[in-house]
């Protein structure tokens, strides 16, 4: 089945799901530009992979290994050329996994900074009490 026909069959009228959204594949191509069709095709492919439980999944260790390889080859074309052959779905899965890892690391860093600041404030407060005042000056 050609890509246009597969997409045409998948796009359904929201009010009448048994009917296609467009009367013919050709009418779909006439009404949508190539970017819109490409976007819909990406969504269609992602849904098919997810429904078949074949969506690519990467764990943090795999993303970190890829990151380390890219960093080693930073000044060359190797990073781009190693990612270029990957299907779009894999690039998306890698990006989402990396963003989750960055989010987790950021949250951990924020929590650690809050702990350090609280400890400093506590030391400051106790030093002020020992010196006879709560503002840190000798009283």
Which residue matches tokens 């930073």? 74
User: Is this prediction's pTM over 0.85?
Assistant: no
15 and 40 together in one domain: yes
- Comparison of pLDDT for 87 and 128, the residue scoring more: 87
89 and 124 together in one domain: yes
64 and 90 together in one domain: yes
Say which residues have a Cβ less than 8 Å from residue 100's Cβ, sequence separation at least 6: 60
117 and 67 together in one domain: yes
Please indicate, yes or no, if residue 136 is contained in any of the structural domains.
Answer: no
Domain count, the chain: 2
Domain that holds residue 86: 60-130
For 90-94, 101-105, 118-122, which range has the lowest pLDDT when averaged over its residues?
90-94
125 and 75 together in one domain: yes
What confidence score (pLDDT) does residue 83 get?
85
Q: Is 93 exposed, middle or buried (0-12, 13-18, 19+ CB in 10 A)?
A: buried
CA distance 77 to 41: 29
- Comparison of pLDDT for 45 and 15, the residue scoring more: 15
pLDDT over threshold 90, residue 88: no
pLDDT over threshold 90, residue 135: no
What does the mean pLDDT of the chain come to? 86
């Amino acid at each position: 089945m050609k890509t246009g026909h597969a997409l045409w069959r998948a796009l359904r009228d929201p009010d009448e799901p048994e009917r296609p959204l467009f009367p013919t594949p050709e009418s779909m191509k006439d009404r949508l530009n190539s970017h819109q069709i490409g976007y819909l095709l990406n969504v269609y492919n992602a849904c098919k992979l997810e429904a078949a439980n074949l969506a690519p999944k990467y764990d943090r260790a795999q993303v970190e290994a890829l990151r380390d390889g890219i960093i080693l080859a930073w000044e060359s074309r190797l990073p781009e050329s190693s990612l270029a052959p990957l299907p779009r779905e894999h690039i998306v899965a890698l990006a989402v996994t990396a963003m989750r890892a960055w989010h987790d690391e950021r949250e951990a860093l924020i929590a650690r900074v809050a702990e350090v600041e609280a400890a400093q404030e506590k030391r400051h407060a106790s030093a002020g009490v020992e010196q006879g005042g709560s503002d840190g000056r000798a009283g």
